[in-house]
Amino acid sequence: MSIKLIIKPDRGFGKIKVKLSDEIEAKILELSNKFGVPVERILEILILEDFKDPPAINIEDLEKEISELEKKVWELEMEFAPLKFKAYNLTQENKLLAIELSGLLAENVQLKRFLKKKIDRNIELRKLITYYMNLGG
């Protein structure tokens, strides 16, 4: 495909015809395919839009900012790690207490059967025990 650019004035008969170089044509086609925009729209943007240079980026300032952010992250990690460890320990303790409570409930049921007393099925307590036994993997 060879791109020929024809620019017509609003009034009059003069028009300008330009054949684009293969390099420019390839770039325009690449942009068209990349963004899914017709070639005509790419040319219109190139000719009519007022492009501005991107703001100057100071790499040193960005590296300094990244370094400061990394430092803050490590400080937060140092504060968070002990809390995470304590939370894990509490989870494990709760799991052990739930197992112990489950055993005591089973023992209580057996004693009530032995004494021929009414057995209470405490469903809410069983759900709570199941919840704590399933915590922490």
Per-position b or e across 21-32, b if 16+ CB within 10 A of its CB? eeeebeebeeeb
Q: Which residues contact 18 (CB under 8 A, 6 or more apart)?
A: 4, 5, 6, 7
Note the pTM of the prediction, 2 decimals. Answer: 0.46
The C-alpha angle 7, 10, 15, rounded to 5 degrees, equals 35
User: What mean pLDDT is reported for the chain?
Assistant: 86
My answer on whether 63 and 87 are in the same domain is: yes
Count the domains in the chain. 2
My answer on whether 43 and 71 are in the same domain is: no
My answer on whether 70 and 112 are in the same domain is: yes
My answer on whether 44 and 90 are in the same domain is: no
What pLDDT does residue 63 have? 93
pLDDT digits (tens, 9 = 90+) for 62-113: 899 999 999 999 999 999 999 999 999 999 999 999 999 999 999 999 999 9
Residue 44 lies in a domain: yes
Residue 18 lies in a domain: yes
Residue 39 lies in a domain: yes
Residue 33 lies in a domain: yes
pLDDT digits (tens, 9 = 90+) for 14-26: 777 878 888 888 8
What pLDDT does residue 95 have? 93
Residue 53 lies in a domain: no
My answer on whether 74 and 29 are in the same domain is: no
Its domain, for residue 65, covers: 59-134
Q: How many CB atoms lie within 10 A of CB 20?
A: 15
Q: List 19's β-bridge partners, or say none.
A: 4
My answer on whether 67 and 125 are in the same domain is: yes
The answer to whether the beta carbons of residues 113 and 75 sit under 8 Å apart is: no
Q: Which residues contact 109 (CB under 8 A, 6 or more apart)?
A: 119
My answer on whether 17 and 78 are in the same domain is: no
